[in-house]
Chain A
Amino acid sequence: MPGKHPRALLHESRPIFEQGSPGRSGASLPALDVPARDPAVDGPAALRRGEAPHLPEVSEVEVTRHFTRLSRWNYAIDLGMYPLGSCTMKYNPKVNERAARMPGFAGLHPAQPEDTLEGALALMWGLERALCEITGFQRATLQPAAGAHGELTGLMMIRAYHQDHGGKARKKIIIPDSAHGTNPASCTLNGFEALGIKTGAGGVIDASAVRAACAAHPGAIAGIMITNPSTLGLFETQIAEITEVVHAAGGLCYMDGANLNALMGKFRPGDAGLDVMHINLHKTFTTPHGGGGPGAGPVAVGAALEPYLPTPMVARDGERLRWDFARPRSIGRVRAGSSNFGMLVRAYAYIREMGGPGLTQATEMAVLNANYIRKKLEDVYPVAFDRPCMHEVVFSDKKLKKETGITTLDVAKRLMDHGFHPPTIYFPLVVPGALMIEPTETEPPEALDELCTALREIAAEAVTDPDKVHSAPHTTGLRRLDETLAARHPRLRWTPKAAE
């Protein structure tokens, strides 16, 4: 048996390298119809390796069982609620999958001749127009393959803009402490320096703090990165003024659009004067993520950055669509091929299925669901800021920790015993012991109630049986893991026994 300790028929599976036996194979090749050559003898010496690679030698049934067993240890949105804050783990409609599997899309090669790509170009053109309509920008590149890749692309364009406009000395990007954690890294990768500012008393950015930061660094401000709504689940009410302040200081305004799910049909960043934003198709536009599929992070821009968009863009000459490489100030390609094209198909299918009113309603329901949870739980888990939230709500373990010693981590672990994926924990950093819940609009009210009941039961259990909470989870395939040991002494790859 390749597995051991079946737990209610939930099998463990040893690393596939430790399964099978020498010479075993899952494939039978047809008879050789050319003269046999031994690469170890006839191959170029420079390309010969010293020893054969340690590849698994397993049969088809072993491979199938290995991966099927592993898949049963997974949690997925198709199994239950996934209330990870800032991740927008909404249900991915199955019609998207049907669209992405249409042979005309699934069978395309990125390098095939342009005149055979009309359908794909039309889809990309349509998706770009739809994203611009939703966000209020002029144009969008679909190339970036993830949100952070979108940030990188957006900042590369900001850098190119400043180089073109005598702003080479502009090195500082203002980043509030409620921004996404990837923002400072994107700055650093572009040679910028992150200039942190603190959120104001109400949990939103104060325009005066931005004004002070600009005044303290005259001629050095390259821009600002704002996550709106912020990671506190709050809408940045002073965004228009902040945009004016940064523009007056010569900087450009980047909006991290990871939380766009709270804005559709309500607020268009382009209208508020922002210059650039990325859009996470895998969050707002229902393409699978969280291990279920690759991301897609289109970047939309206004007039200032339009010349710097990556090439190629889709251009339309009358009825005909074509690749447009003739963009002399472009930052160039940021990804091979046409991004994760299957994700573009899924996102477009979703947008067309929902339509404008449908997307607006999705946003309304996402915000309503988050506020429903807020009101149902705020007496046991105090909220960081006592005001209506957007698509996500940030609780803290302040009360629970003080009264019972039970922390956010314990609550998250115990929630697994109730059949839920844990929420985002200890983020944003500005809220100690943060427990960040984003239900999304696709959860039925019964699921919201079940989640709230579970969290209330855990809070009650923290008083009656704290050890049970502290030692959770109890019903999962594995019990509580030693995360500290894993972080301090990570084992990142399998190594053959002999080499250890």
Chain B
Amino acid sequence: MSAEYPDDLLYTREHEWARVDGTRAVIGITRFAVEQLGDITQVDLPKEGDSVKKDEVFGTVESVKAVSDLFAPLSGKVLKVNDPLKDSPEYVNDDCYDEGWMVEIELSVESEKAGLMSAKQYKEFLEESA
């Protein structure tokens, strides 16, 4: 299993992460989100080519407890979707930072990433809100 909150990722207050590489970013949900949700039973994601907007809903994740919205950490166009999650949503529970990634987007507003938290800031945020 990967680290709880890897240092190379950026985080949101809604518990999504983004791995930014140049003008692209891979997006998923954090270990904290996974623990809160419990066993995930379904993940609904946008299609390739769809646009997502920072802080707006881009999909839903359903667990045995509830259905929760996914909020985009950054704006952009969806390049790739992690299709295997359709049949194997448990990848998100098992490995939320690698096999459980959700979408990859082409960033439309690169400067947005300045508004996201570092791993250290996110950990502090979690402690404050505990």
- Using a CB–CB cutoff of 8 Å, the interface residues on chain A facing chain B are 181, 196, 409, 425-427, 429, 432, 483-484, 487-488
B66: chain A residues at CB < 8 Å are 426-427, 429
18 new A-B pairs (CB below 8 Å) besides A484-B41, A488-B90?
A: A181-B67, A196-B69, A409-B38, A425-B65, A426-B65, A427-B66, A429-B66, A483-B39, A483-B64, A484-B39, A484-B64, A487-B39, A487-B41, A487-B62, A487-B64, A488-B41, A488-B42, A488-B89
CB closest residue in chain A, given B35: A432
Majority DSSP secondary structure for residues of A touching B: mixed
Q: Which 8 A-B pairs have the closest CB atoms?
A: A487-B41, A426-B65, A484-B39, A483-B64, A488-B41, A429-B66, A484-B64, A426-B66
- A432–B129 Cα gap in the complex (Å)? 12
- The answer to whether the Cβ of B111 comes within 8 Å of any Cβ in the partner chain is no
- A429–B66 Cα gap in the complex (Å)? 8
- The answer to whether the Cβ of B36 comes within 8 Å of any Cβ in the partner chain is yes
- Checking A425, A432, A484, A488 against B36 with a beta-carbon cut-off of 8 angstroms, the contacting residue is A432
- Checking B41, B68, B90 against A429 with a beta-carbon cut-off of 8 angstroms, the contacting residue is B68
- A429–B65 Cα gap in the complex (Å)? 9
- A196–B62 Cα gap in the complex (Å)? 18
- A381–B62 Cα gap in the complex (Å)? 26
7 CB-based A-B contacts, threshold 8 Å: A426-B65, A483-B64, A484-B39, A487-B42, A487-B62, A488-B41, A488-B89
CB closest residue in chain A, given B57: A196
Residue-wise, chain B 78-120 has the 8 Å CB interface mask toward A (1 for contact) of 0000000000011000000000000000000000000000000
A427: chain B residues at CB < 8 Å are 66
- A488–B90 Cα gap in the complex (Å)? 9
Shortest CB-to-CB span from B37 to chain A, Å, is: 9
Which residue among A181, A196, A429 has the maximum number of chain B CB atoms within 10 Å of its CB? A429
Which residue among A181, A425, A487 has the maximum number of chain B CB atoms within 10 Å of its CB? A487
- A484–B90 Cα gap in the complex (Å)? 10
Shortest CB-to-CB span from B40 to chain A, Å, is: 9
CB closest residue in chain B, given A490: B41
CB closest residue in chain A, given B67: A181
Shortest CB-to-CB span from B33 to chain A, Å, is: 11
- A409–B69 Cα gap in the complex (Å)? 22
- A483–B39 Cα gap in the complex (Å)? 9
A409: chain B residues at CB < 8 Å are 38
B89: chain A residues at CB < 8 Å are 488
Residue-wise, chain B 51-77 has the 8 Å CB interface mask toward A (1 for contact) of 000000000001011111100000000
- A425–B64 Cα gap in the complex (Å)? 11
B36: chain A residues at CB < 8 Å are 432
B62: chain A residues at CB < 8 Å are 487
Which chain B residues numbered 15 to 48 have a C-beta less than 8 Å away from chain A? 36, 38-39, 41-42
B42: chain A residues at CB < 8 Å are 487-488
- A425–B65 Cα gap in the complex (Å)? 8
Shortest CB-to-CB span from B68 to chain A, Å, is: 7
Shortest CB-to-CB span from A192 to chain B, Å, is: 14
CB closest residue in chain B, given A428: B66
CB closest residue in chain B, given A489: B41
CB closest residue in chain B, given A194: B57
A196: chain B residues at CB < 8 Å are 69
A487: chain B residues at CB < 8 Å are 39, 41-42, 62, 64
Shortest CB-to-CB span from A426 to chain B, Å, is: 4
Shortest CB-to-CB span from B121 to chain A, Å, is: 21
- A483–B63 Cα gap in the complex (Å)? 10
